[in-house]
Amino acid sequence: MKYKVRLEQSEEGWAASVPGLPGCWSQGATEDEALENVRDAISDYLGAVGELLQGAHVREIDVAV
């Protein structure tokens, strides 16, 4: 699965956020480090969502973009 990641450089390094997953973000000293860290953040985010949905009546749908 692919997610769009917004990168912003600051004096401290790089910030990476995922607009499609509100509140999912990370940072790193370099662009590559920020991307690797946000990859882990996405995985953790989706794991938490999975736990919240456990036992709920859920369906998946396909959306054409």
Amino acid type, 15: A
Q: Widest CA span of the chain, in angstroms?
A: 46
Domain range annotation of the chain: 6-53
Q: Are the C-beta atoms of residues 13 and 27 closer than 8 Å to each other?
A: yes
Q: Are the C-beta atoms of residues 16 and 34 closer than 8 Å to each other?
A: yes
Residue 1 binned pLDDT confidence (cut-offs 50, 70, 90): confident
Residue 65 has pLDDT above 90, yes or no: no
* CATH 3.30.310.40 is right for the domain spanning 6-53: no
Q: How far apart are CA 31 and CA 33, in angstroms?
A: 5
Could you read off the pLDDT of 22-46 as tens digits, one per residue? 999 999 999 999 999 999 999 999 9
Q: Are the C-beta atoms of residues 6 and 27 closer than 8 Å to each other?
A: no
Please tell me the pTM assigned to this model: 0.86
Amino acid type, 61: I
Find the mean pLDDT for residues 2-19. Answer: 96
